[in-house]
Each structure stands twice: as structure tokens, then as C-alpha cells.
Structure 1
């Protein structure tokens, strides 16, 4: 009898070349899927190729602001994952265009081919928020639900990992600056979540082992204030720095100025976002819309941070207390 070769399912991942995306691509590749990565610059996505077997991962040009490029990227896909998001606006990359219009366009393209959809949002998404980031994230969720009712949506708290722009940024700052700023006094609460755990949750949604049509809130095992995050980071990199509270009015002024400079170290919208806690809601805990219901035990900052922040120590990997 002739054996019929079963072709692995094809998954299209928008934003797969970014920080979270590369971990999602790895999680999907280990499961044997064929992966088409939709990104604006596929010529800069070569770092994805080693994450899978030869020919398993294919970067293609796609922009969530351009509908025809989305349709082309999802052609023939069995499932679509949308990870696209921005933390600061620049050029044509505006919050409404990326978070709202882009989310709806991806959802409509997935619906047109009958593919499932997994959408990455963010904790704090709120259509009544004063933050444009949070409002447009909520608008994107609404667009997804209106288009594909059984789509799976994930809302992670601040995501950390080897390529993050949070702990890495402040650890690098601590190499040169004797002080670190605590915006608003550093009392804002976060529930830092490891990027590998977020990627695993998304991969499980793709394979169908997560309840569809649900919005999950993903947070790590510990709730930390901004100050506690800085204190833990400094302990890991073995540096002593003064933590200086920056009142909200001063932070807003800094955001207005720094937001106009290349690199956008801080924007006014980010300052507004920092005025609200970023933790898993009691409602999500009560309704079982967290890591527990997915069967994932999230890893803590204490376990993961030493594995990549060691490079900010004075002696790097040769530090006497190196745990990496």
C-alpha cells in the first residue's frame, strides 16, 4: 500500500520577526508546522531561519496597513497569528492604523480563507483609557471579535526575555548613569511575563488545545512595582544605582521632549499608560482565563533575568556570582 504523505499545516504569523515573534516562530517550528512570516522587511528576517528545519520558515513581505499584502500572506494558511503592535508612533506607523485597522484587516483576511485566528493584544487595553495605545488595542480586540467570534485573544502584561526593551534598556542605562528614574514614584504595578511562556500559550492556541473564543490575561507568578523591577534588575547586574522618583508632571514633560527625538526613549502616551497598573484582573482569575487554564506554569523574573542580563555586569560572564 502506498503511504500518503501528510503535509504539515501552514501557519501565517504577522510580526513574526519581532521580539515576541521569534519565540512564537520557534514554538511553532518545534511542533512541525510550516511557517510563513509576514513582515515589512523580510530581508532583515534571516535570524528566523535557524529556528526551524531548512525551508520550514518563509519570511514574506507584508504590512498590516496594506490589505492586499495581508491577503497574499495568508493564502493557503490553516491558521493566522497576529502579533503586530507598536509602543510608540513614528512615520506612517500610527496606533489606529496598526492596532485597529491592521487587526481588522488580518481578521477579515483570515475569515475569507476559513482560517483560525490568534490575536495578541495587551493588558490594559481599554477603550476608555486616556492612552492612545490602550484605546487602539481595545479597538483591535473589538474588530477581531466582530470579524471572527471564536478567535483567541491573549493579553500579556509587560513581556521580558533576552531581547526585551524593558529590563535591557534600564540595565544598559545603569552601565553609564549613576541614577535611574522612577516615573511617578515607581509605584505602578506590573506582572512581568516571560516571552517563552507567552509563545507557548500562542502555540497551544494554534494547535487547538486552548479554548477558542476566549480572551486570556497572561501574567507572571509575581506582581512587582516599577521600583521592585529596578531593584531586582540592579541586583542581577550587581550594580548599585540611586533610584530617583520623577513626579508625573516632570515625566510628562520628559515624554513630550523625548518623544520627539529619534529612538523615542519615552513618550507622553507611555507616561499616561504608566499611571495604570498592568496586572491580571480578578475577573480573569475568577473565570479561569489565565495561564492556569492553559496548563502553563509561568516562570519568574528571578529565574530568567540572570540568564541574559549578566552581560551588563562589570565582568560580564566572568562575574564571580554569574548564574547564567
Structure 2
């Protein structure tokens, strides 16, 4: 049951870390719709007005630089008066003190302990595909972050979305751009399937988890939520589906040999160019779909198909339209 179903209950106060980012602002919108009081955690809380969704400009804001919040005591000011936390922060590439381990592992570990001490619920957005061996420090840091939550004793939930669709996501923007190109370069070993989902529906799922009243304590298996859309496709098939929304003629797809694709991913990491990274190259080689898709359970309905025309319309649909900034490729890095 969501808070919207309890009109006489005290409004829950939810801190959304990365609340102006690609995922976070959809969580903010969904929480506001459900009657929650939202506090937006941001690296630069005074500079996010243009990024915030409608209705969120009056929300309280708190500074949250995860690379600096490395102990439970560091989180005291951010958590004051809060009932639940939704952590949507993540980085695709390291910058100075913003390292993978500090942002994806040490800060969430400290946050989990701080939430345990205060008996707060913690919803942590991670990513699918972490069950395969990985060399990428980006992926390994996310694995470490999940392990820290499990060991914390806090009231945690881990949410792992597949590829995200939505305007404004850095990766989603690139996918749509590539879909328009008549010639496309894709890694030859990008054979894994993805289950793209709408970022707005991810926001709804996060809000539901933050506000849901639990009558019993769930076991660890019930605290982990793999989420995806209804269709499973390879990356090339997904891009082709997006292209069909705008073009009748299919693109020519050129397969880049594995070694060259891997070298290209390292170059992209070095130059901070495009959302393609070594971690994504590793992920694309395996399926990135939920074995047990819990998105319908959290939405209370079937998730919408991505890259498909509405049934019976006879018209091409446009992909969903959402906010600003951040990455929307596997896994979806979250922050600001």
C-alpha cells in the first residue's frame, strides 16, 4: 500500500540522492504524486532548478557529495528528519576524488550503516549483469556496494534495472542518435539480450518500494528487485526497433571485431567520450535481462514496450519523453 492510500497518515519524508539526475528526478515525481515529502540530495543543490521535474522546485534540498560521505557520521546532516532514502547516485567514469569505490561502494556502505542506526529504509539502485566475472572497476565497485548493503543489517532494498529508455539520458540520447545513422558500428560480440524499460516506470517502482508498508520482514531474496521491460532483444535489435519508429529503411550494421571494440571502449573511457565504456563492453557480451522480472509486481500492471507502436494504432510511437542528463545504458549510472 502506498502513502497515497493513507490520506490521514503523516507524510513520509524521503531523501532522493541524485534527485536531479536521469533516474532520480523520476523517483522524485513518483514520490510527490504519492503524497510524500521529498528532499533532494545533490552535489550542487543551488544549481539544479532547470533539471527538476514540475512540482519539485519547492522541495527541500541538501548537499550530498558521496565521495565525501565515507563514514556513518558523515551522513548525519543529510539524514536528519528522514524516513527513507532512495540512492540514485552513480558515476560512469572517475573524476578526481569521485572514484568508483568511494561513490559505488564506500559511501553506500556508510549510508547503510547510518540507516541501520536510525532504522531508515534504504532503496539502492544498482544494475543488472553483475553476476558475471568482470574486470571493469566500474562493475566491481557496484558488486562491492551490493555486498556492503547485504552485510549491513539495515532495512535495504536493491533495485537492478536493465537498459533505460527516456529523453535526456546520456546513453539513451546516443542510442537514438545511432538509430538514425544509415551505417552503424556495433561490437561483434554484443550478443547479450537486454530488456529495455521506461525510466518513468523505474521511478514509480522506486517510489513504491520507498513507501510500501511491510507487515513482515522480507528475507534477502525478497529485498532484491531485477527490473526490465516486456521485450528481450540484442542491442542491435533494440536499435533497429528504435530506428523503425522514424525510418522505413533499415540501417547497415557493421560488426566491429571483439579486440577492436575492447580497445575502442578503453579509448572512450580515456577521453570521456560517448557512453560506451569498458564496463559496457563486458556487459554487452552477456544477457542483461531479469531472470525474475519484478517490475509488473511493483507497478501493478504490465510495463510498456519500448520501441513499439501502440497496439492497433497503425502509427509509429515516439519513445518516452523524460528529463535531462545522465546515462541510460547498461547498467544505468545514476548521479548528476
- TM-score (normalizing by structure 2): 0.80
* Residue number among 164, 176, 180 corresponding to 1:159 in the alignment: 164
SS of structure 1 residue aligned to 2:167: coil
- Which has more radius of gyration? 1
The reply on whether 1:26 has 2:29 as its aligned counterpart is yes
- Partner Cα separation in structure 1 for residue 132 and residue 242 of structure 2: 33
- Partner Cα separation in structure 2 for residue 272 and residue 155 of structure 1: 17
Q: Provide closer, same or farther for how the CA distance between residues 231 and 127 of structure 1 changes in structure 2, counting only shifts above 3 A.
A: closer
Q: Which moved more, 1:226-235 or 1:60-69?
A: 60-69
Runs of 4 or more, structure 1, over 4 Å off, are: 209-213
The reply on whether 1:138 has 2:156 as its aligned counterpart is no
- Partner Cα separation in structure 2 for residue 166 and residue 48 of structure 1: 17
Residues 167 and 233 in structure 1, CA contact (< 8 A), matched pair in contact too: no
Q: Gaps spanning 5+ residues in structure 2: where?
A: 1-7, 311-316, 322-336
Q: Provide closer, same or farther for how the CA distance between residues 54 and 92 of structure 1 changes in structure 2, counting only shifts above 3 A.
A: closer
* Residue number among 289, 293, 316 corresponding to 1:279 in the alignment: 289
Residues 12 and 38 in structure 1, CA contact (< 8 A), matched pair in contact too: yes
Superposition deviation, residue 144 in structure 1? 1.0
The reply on whether 1:94 has 2:92 as its aligned counterpart is no
- TM-score (normalizing by structure 1): 0.83
CA RMSD of aligned residues (A): 2.5
The reply on whether 1:202 has 2:206 as its aligned counterpart is yes
Superposition deviation, residue 98 in structure 1? 1.1
Residues 63 and 69 in structure 1, CA contact (< 8 A), matched pair in contact too: no
Residues 30 and 52 in structure 1, CA contact (< 8 A), matched pair in contact too: no
User: Match of 1:114?
Assistant: 119
What is the correspondence of 1:187-198 to structure 2 with a 5 Å cutoff? 187-198=191-202
Residues 122 and 156 in structure 1, CA contact (< 8 A), matched pair in contact too: yes
Q: Gaps spanning 5+ residues in structure 1: where?
A: 310-324
The reply on whether 1:11 has 2:11 as its aligned counterpart is no
The reply on whether 1:297 has 2:309 as its aligned counterpart is no
The reply on whether 1:230 has 2:239 as its aligned counterpart is yes
* Higher helix fraction (1 or 2): 1
User: Match of 1:319?
Assistant: none
Q: Which moved more, 1:224-233 or 1:62-71?
A: 62-71
User: Match of 1:316?
Assistant: none
Alignment: residue pair count: 297
Residues 64 and 70 in structure 1, CA contact (< 8 A), matched pair in contact too: no
Q: Provide closer, same or farther for how the CA distance between residues 95 and 127 of structure 1 changes in structure 2, counting only shifts above 3 A.
A: farther
